[in-house]
Structure 1
Amino acid sequence: MPEEFTRAFWEERYSGHGTRHDRRPNPQLVTEAGDLAPGTALDAGCGEGADAIWLASRGWRVTAVDIAAAALRHGQACAEALGADVAGRIDFQVADLTDWTPPEDHFDLVSTHYVHPAASRQALFRRLAASVAPGGTLLVVGHHPSDPHAAASHDCAPQVHFTADEVAADLDPDRWDIRVAEARTRTVTFPGGREVTMRDAVLRALRSCPVGLVGSARRSGPGEDRPDRA
């Protein structure tokens, strides 16, 4: 197993670093989920919980899962600093996404960003997709293969780098409506203030509703009409 996929690696990375890591939510999440009506969300591979905290502050009830207990301790502390209304909406759970299976048909939003599974990422994404409730949204963000900065920072680029089209190809077209599948840039500030533009793969897909639920369970994205869910 590559070193950076082990529990020990991530525990060491997140232990004792204070405020070194970025506390802001991922800009791709803000863009793609900013107009969604709050519901239940899964943040798979949540790290220190910046995305989970952003979702909770907007009214979502979030299950935030990561392999590193140290990361979750930082996330819990940050959430509690914002008050019980935010912290009480997040359930931080230690789990290895390589073999963890979320409940099926459960979440209104499943979001995963830059995951490093020790086994097949396709198998992981299939499990995450299965946990999206009818009418819910799947958001997958990863390092795009064309990003030289990400490629240089990972020894396991073939496993953690992918295109949105590759993820979309594994989704059943009878069950999923692909709303976004593209490469997109973001700006990252490294220690010392150096800013780098990185390139992400972004996939957002809407799970189809069974006949009779369309209109009551549908979600929309930025710029789309959104009927409210009952």
Structure 2
Amino acid sequence: MTNPGEHTAALHDEPSQDPATFWENRYRESDRAWSGRANAALEREAAGLAPGTALDLGSGEGGDALWLAQNGWSVTAVDISPTALARGQAAAEGAGLAERIRWIAADLATWQPDGPFDLVTAHFLQSPVELPREVILRRAAATVAPGGVLLVVGHAQFPPWSKHKPDGVPLPTADDVLASLELLAEHWEIVTKAAVEREAIGPDGHVATLVDSVLTLRRTHSI
């Protein structure tokens, strides 16, 4: 589900549809859904981290997983779409990174991570079909190792080219995400909690300024 800026945000104007079918059809619509590059927030927030084990939630076609593997991480990449994962796996094999990435086809709504992980990352884990995002993120946060990092990035504003219409419910801010995680404050350190602007190229080729909500937390104690 992840992509550097082109992923449509969590909205509520899609008809009820099985998430696995929706996302598999979405990826089959074209040879490639996303750019293949890593998300800018991941490159920025993880640049200074010592490589270890990483969990990429909603990995899509693997742009983030590939970047992490290229930078020394052992990655578990999870997505609901087998087509997206097959593309990521092919790219990893072509780049000589196959042994550094484990690809798992699973519905994050029910999948149980097997941590601990030194980095758990979720970029644009927002969906126009049913997705228990808060449950998924709480479950993933519990797998972060002491000293490890949780990075959650989402749309703070709707991209101008989004086909979906706002329904009056604002997109979650970094503060909202932090509150929804229900973490013990004494066990976590806030590294980044901000709305961050970046430039992205839309489907029509025009450049727009997008705003992401970025939350980076470091676990300071075990549970």
- TM-score for the superposition, normalised by structure 2: 0.83
SS at match of 2:90: helix
Counterpart Cα distance in 2 of 1:150 and 1:138 = 28
The structure-2 alpha-carbon separation of the partners of 1:64 and 1:42, relative to structure 1 and needing over 3 Å to count, comes to same
Structure 2 vs 1, CA of residues 109 and 160 (structure 1 numbering), >3 Å: closer, same or farther? Answer: farther
TM-fit CA distance, 1:120: 3.1
Deviation at 1:9, TM superposition (A): 1.3
Is residue 80 of structure 2 the alignment partner of residue 67 of structure 1?
Answer: yes
Match of 1:139 in 2: 151
Counterpart for residue 41 of structure 1: 54
* Structure 2 partner of 1:168: 178
State yes or no: 1:90 paired with 2:101: yes
Question: 1:201, 1:68 → 2: CA distance?
Answer: 25
User: Cα deviations across residues 98-154 of structure 1 (Å, max 9, x unaligned)?
Assistant: 1112125x000000011136343221111010010111000000111xx14279444
Q: Is residue 38–residue 58 contact of structure 1 (8 Å, CA) maintained in 2?
A: yes
The alpha-carbon distance between structure 1 residues 138 and 2, as it changes in their structure 2 partners (threshold 3 A), is farther
The whole-number CA distance in structure 1 between the counterparts of 2:17 and 2:93 is 29
Asked if 1:184 is matched to 2:218, the reply is no
For residues 126 and 26 of structure 2, the distance between their equivalents in structure 1, rounded to whole angstroms, comes to: 14
Structure 1 range deviating more: 22-31 or 116-125: 116-125
> Unmatched 5+ residue regions in structure 1?
211-230
19 and 68 in structure 1: CA distance in 2 versus 1, 3 angstrom threshold: closer
Query: Displaced runs of 4+ in structure 1, greater than 6 A?
Result: 156-160
Distance in 2 between residues matched to 1:55 and 1:159, nearest whole Å: 33
Q: Distance in 2 between matches of 1:116 and 1:30?
A: 20
Alignment correspondent of 1:208? 220
| Alignment-mate amino acid for residue 112 of structure 1 | A
Matching of residue 124 in structure 1 with residue 136 in structure 2: yes
One of 108, 112, 133 as aligned partner of 2:122: 112
Are 1:149 and 2:159 matched, yes or no?
A: yes
Correspondence for 1:103 among 105, 111, 114: 114
**What stretches of structure 2 of length at least 5 have no aligned partner?**
1-13
Match of 1:197 among 202, 209, 220: 209
Count residues in correspondence.
Answer: 205
1:147-203 per-residue CA deviation (whole Å, 9 max, x = no partner) reads 142794446878893111112223210211111111012222233422222111000
Mean Cα deviation higher: 41-50 or 114-123: 114-123
SS in 1 for 2:203: coil
> Aligned partners of 2:19, 2:118: CA distance in 1, in Å?
30
Q: For the structure 1 residues 154 and 3, does the alpha-carbon distance in structure 2 shift closer, same or farther, using more than 3 Å as the test?
A: farther
**Which one has more relative contact order, counting CA pairs under 8 Å at least 6 apart?**
2
The percentage of aligned residue pairs carrying the same residue is 44
